[in-house]
Amino acid sequence: LKSMGGTVPPAPANASTEETSKGKAEEHPEEPVKSPEPESEESDLEIDNEGVIEPDNDDPQEMGDENAEVTEEMADQANEKKTEAINALSEGDLQKAVDLFTDAIKLNPCLAILYAKRASVFVKLQKPNAAIRDCDRAIKINPDSAQTYKWRGKAHRLLGHWEEAAHDLALACKLDYDEDASAMLKEVQPRAQKIAEHRRKYERKREEKEIKERLERVKKAREEHEKAQREEEARRQAGGAQFGGFPGGFPGGFPGAGGMPGLNEILSDPEVLAAMQ
């Protein structure tokens, strides 16, 4: 242009400013906004765990052969061992009591009361897992023993299993009322109820979240369906204009968009329909 006598107009003043701001924007890209982390179910649950102990991790105790044939002599010997174990327990020799109950169990492994008695000693020794194993075996033999549920409930209480403890202690009192079991039931029941209410609260939250997500999917499916219909209508109109000179237009037209697969299934969800009402 200069060789022909013309002049080159100066660059706009805001061009360099735009380039500079663009460069700065590229140097410091905006950080994506982090979505809040989902709230933990335990985050706002406070339970008084006074009296809860660490679980015992000893090897499983001897249980005896549940398929063994017990003779009359073996049954008598088992009763003798049981009596000795009860005497040791009354003298405060807990480990000796456990050993003697174990001897009795090996002689007569099908007598539920022996497991319940040994479980009571394990609770006193603060070995709740061992006590629960004994109670489980006793319940398998005799599911209607109140003492067995009482000691398993006490073992669960030591582990902080509040709902399991409340269940077993309530069942023990139902089968055969016991003041000791009833007193502990009154202690654990409020905590068990608090946990149950807390769980129901989060179950409702999860259900509400699922319904909200379904509604979002319905909304998105509707929008995509409407968009597809508009695009199809536009194509039809464009096709009609292009081939309008032919008699009868373009034969057969264009095939449809095929609808939105899965939309009917989503819309038939009872929970989604209830939430949309």
Q: What is the pLDDT of residues 245-261, one digit of tens each?
A: 445 444 444 444 445 55
pLDDT greater than 60 at residue 219: yes
Output the six-digit token pair for 192. Answer: 């068990």
Is the model's pLDDT at 269 over the cut of 90? no
Query: Which among 135, 82, 139, 72 has a CA at the least distance from the CA of 105?
Result: 82
- What local confidence, expressed as pLDDT, does residue 161 receive? 97
Q: Cβ distance 113 to 121 under 8 Å? A: no
Comparing C-alpha atoms, which of 163, 41, 61 is closest to residue 104?
Answer: 61
Domain membership of residue 171 (yes or no) is: yes
CA atoms within 13 A on the CB side of 72: 0
Task: Specify if 118 maps to a domain.
Answer: yes
Which whole number is the average pLDDT over 205-231?
87
Rounded mean pLDDT, 91-106: 98
Is 8 inside a domain boundary?
A: no
**248 is written with which tokens?**
């009868």
Residue 152 lies inside a defined structural domain of this protein: yes
- N-to-C CA span, the chain: 72
* 195 pLDDT tier (thresholds 50, 70, 90): very high
Q: Average of pLDDT values for 71-76?
A: 96
Q: What is the pLDDT of residues 31-57, one digit of tens each?
A: 554 544 555 555 567 888 889 999 999
pLDDT of res. 254: 43
Q: Which of 1-15, 113-127, 193-207, 226-240 has the lowest mean pLDDT?
A: 1-15
**Per-residue b/e over 168-179, b at no fewer than 16 CB within 10 Å?**
bbbbbbebeebe
In this prediction, residue 274 carries a pLDDT of 66
- The reply to whether 42 falls in a domain is no
Structure tokens at 134: 């004994």
Which secondary structure element, helix H or strand E, spans residue 122, and what is its range? Answer: helix 112-124
| Whole-number pLDDT of residue 201 | 82
> Residue 33 corresponds to which tokens in the numbers above?
């906004």
User: Is 273 domain-assigned?
Assistant: no
| Counted domains in the chain | 1
Region 89-97 average pLDDT: 97
Report the CATH number that the domain containing residue 106 is assigned in CATH.
1.25.40.10
Residue 200 covered by a domain: no
Among the ranges given (63-67, 170-174, 247-251), the one the predictor scored with the smallest mean pLDDT: 247-251
pLDDT at 253: 46
pLDDT of residue 5: 58
**Cα distance between residue 175 and residue 42, in whole Å:** 34
Structure tokens at 137: 């075996």
pLDDT band (50, 70, 90) for residue 8: low
Give the pLDDT confidence score for residue 263 in this predicted structure.
Answer: 59
Q: What three-state secondary structure class fits 43?
A: coil
pLDDT of residue 239: 76
User: 112 lies in which domain range?
Assistant: 72-188
What contacts 185, CB < 8 A, 6 or more positions away? 153, 166, 169, 170, 173
Give the pair of three-digit tokens for residue 190. Answer: 């409020």
Q: Which residue has the higher pLDDT, 226 or 148?
A: 148
Task: Name the one residue in this structure whose structure tokens are 């582990």.
Answer: 159
Query: Quick count: other Cβ atoms within 10 Å of Cβ 48?
Result: 12
For residue 264, being part of any structural domain is answered with no
- Is residue 84 packed enough to be buried (19+ CB in 10 Å), middle (13-18) or exposed (0-12)? middle
